[in-house]
Amino acid sequence: MIYLDCAATSLQKPQGVAAASCRAINHMASPGRGSHRPAMDAADCVLNCRLLMAEYFNVNDPDKVIFTINATHALNIAVASLVDPGDKVVISGYEHNAVLRPLTAYGADIVVARSPLFDPAAVTEAYRQALPGAKCAVINHVSNVFGFILPIEEISALCHEFEVPLIIDASQSAGVIPIDFTALGAAFIAMPGHKSLLGPQGTGVLLCNYPVKPVLFGGTGSNSLLSSMPDYLPDRLEAGTHNVAGIAGLTHSLRYLMSKPPRYVLEHETALRTCFERRICDIDGLTLYSSCDPDCQSGVLSVVSQNPACDELAEILGSMGICVRSGLHCAPLAHETAGTTETGTVRFSFSPFNTCTDVFQASEALKKIFINR
Amino acid sequence: MLQYLLMCKSLTYAQRALRLLERIGVSTIITKAPKSATGNGCNYCVKVSEKHLAASLKALNEANFGNIRVFLVSDDGSVSEVRK
């Protein structure tokens, strides 16, 4: 099997991640629920991951690192903290439903800063036009459909200029592109642990630099006589028992990523993606969505096929042992921007563990499908 | 030797306090704070001996741990606040 769906969830994890999770299941209890050994081991495990996350993303206070169940949960907290009904919120034309749906649910007046695919300067200009009067802004760091790397540094600077708090959705970039939370000065950065951070499913993180509103209420093992959530982080946002097993695995995968040069994953995945593009660009009947500028696309490539249709193509590839995703990828806005709403796309997304052999076999499989048409 | 409890606002703070104190050579443990010492219930503290109290408070203060409440542990296990 060749797994090319890292943009959904990374399947192959660094060696030791599963063992770390297993150890946590067998030996750790719940942080803050006692001072006995299993509870304190769990607390140490969670703190270790919090400290590593703070170091990896340059967060000046580890208490600003909040563990969530996924990026969607983290984005819900960020939106709840910043948005009231009727507030103008500026977003890019590449946002995921994890942004669109919470904004809609909280009654935001959503303004889309529209810009063409793979044109970072146009993104910046669109935000410049849209930001005046906004209550907050959201930007997807990397499009989950097209791998388009959006200019978050420029947008962050603009948001500072207009005094608009910024939420960054780093779902596709965390673990791939170096992110400096302090330098960016964003209000929130949300990310999953199970994609390019290479941790287990059920892990997510929210980096906070803004007053927060909880979306989940319950026990924290602290201030138990209060009927409201504690007013300090991380307890304010971490109700209920942590996913200690997931966090233990995430700690291990973070150590793996931190042992690599900062741009190692991006360079590896981009090299595989460009190699794959070269091998399939001549296939008649396949439209590739790729950028001429190597700095504005990650290791994600979408293609459109009419015959077979995208969903059918993905199924055929699946039957040949090539795992990819088709459809709208929960990001209808990105398809609206690129004009692929009717067809959807087939997405190939690479991980640090994919190899040139994977690229060769996947491209040969594609060629075989189209030659036989 | 007299023992003191340094009350922390959260478990995370207590863990970070413990690690900081261990780095400066102070041996300590995290314990659940006695109910009589916690206004809002369920808190954690680090326990230090009298000879390490001043150095511990200085280190925590320098690391911006904020205003730390200090409790003296009596022989019978009861606690009394000695600094707010």
Distance CA A110, CA A212 (A): 21
For residue A293, what is the DSSP state? S
Q: Which is nearest to A300 in space by CA: A61, A140, A159?
A: A140
The stretch A48-58 carries a mean pLDDT of 98
Contacts of B12 in chain A (CB under 8 A): 47, 50, 62-63, 234-235
User: Between chains, do B12 and A226 touch, taking CB under 8 Å as contact?
Assistant: no
Q: Which secondary-structure segment (H or E) carries A161?
A: helix A152-162
Q: Mutation test of the interface with chain A: which of B16, B31, B42, B47, choosing the one with the most A Cβ atoms within 10 A?
A: B42
Chain A residues 39-68 with a CB less than 8 Å from chain B: 40, 43-44, 47, 50, 62-63
User: Between chains, do B41 and A223 touch, taking CB under 8 Å as contact?
Assistant: yes
Instruction: Report CA dihedral (A239, A242, A247, A249) to the nearest 10 degrees.
Output: -150
Residue-wise pLDDT tens digits, A1-27 = 999 999 999 999 999 999 999 999 999
Closest-CA distance, A28 to chain B, in angstroms, reads: 16
Q: Are A203 and A250 contacting, i.e. CB atoms less than 8 angstroms apart?
A: yes
Residue-wise pLDDT tens digits, A265-321 = 999 999 999 999 999 999 999 999 999 998 999 999 999 999 999 999 999 999 999
What CATH number labels B3-83?
A: 3.30.70.1530
Q: Mutation test of the interface with chain A: which of B11, B28, B64, choosing the one with the most A Cβ atoms within 10 A?
A: B11
- Three-state DSSP at A151 gives coil
- Where in A102-165 does DSSP place strands (E)? 109-113, 136-140
Lookup: tokens for A188 = 């929130």
Q: Mutation test of the interface with chain B: which of A41, A51, A220, A222, choosing the one with the most B Cβ atoms within 10 A?
A: A222
* CB proximity list for A14: less than 8 A, separation 6 or greater: A198, A252, A253, A256
How much is the mean pLDDT over chain A?
97
Q: Are A172 and A300 contacting, i.e. CB atoms less than 8 angstroms apart?
A: yes
Distance CA B14, CA B6 (A): 9
Q: Which is nearest to A348 in space by CA: A332, A339, A361?
A: A361
Which value does ipTM take for this structure? 0.85
- Three-state DSSP at B8 gives strand
Task: Locate the domains of chain B by residue range.
Answer: 3-83
Residue where the block lists tokens 């319950």: A218
